[in-house]
Amino acid sequence: MILFTTEPSPVGELTLVGDGRSLTGLFMTDHRHRPTLPAGARRDDSAFAAARLQLGEYFAGERTRFDLPVKLEGTLFQREVWRALRDIGYGETESYGALARRIGRPHASRAVGLANGRNPISIVVPCHRVVGASGSLTGYGGGIEHKRFLLQLESAAVRPVLLARAS
């Protein structure tokens, strides 16, 4: 059974999708590759209590890593890219080329970008942390303004910690 709920956030309403055990989707309202909910999907707000709590903590700047069961469904290559996204630290960015090299596919930066754009669990699987080679903000399924917001949110939370360490 496919379950879903919605959650307000600073980047607009989020739709959370799952199977009762794992989160299988997290989409923004205007998400580029947002699938339609299948017939028979049932709204169940209680099934997503942990995800809603952790998203609230993330947007409040109190959570830097999500601890949620996720189920990533896609091609073998897509899943490889999506798993690697989870290793990009909070407040950090990585280029598409660097990500391609890290997964052992140095000539696949364009394919990495395509897989990144198809990430079904935005924010929790942090595809917003992937940028162009020059550090420029390139495409984002949820919209470039939301990518900018998420990166600014994370950098604002990291900056005081770095300043405290330097003191």
Q: Which residues are the active-site residues?
A: 127
Give CA separation, 144 vs 2, 106, 137, in Å: 29, 26, 7
Q: Which of 64, 72, 70, 74 is nearest to 51 (CA)?
A: 70
CA atoms in the 13 A half-sphere facing the CB of 84: 24
61: which 2 tokens? 């700047």
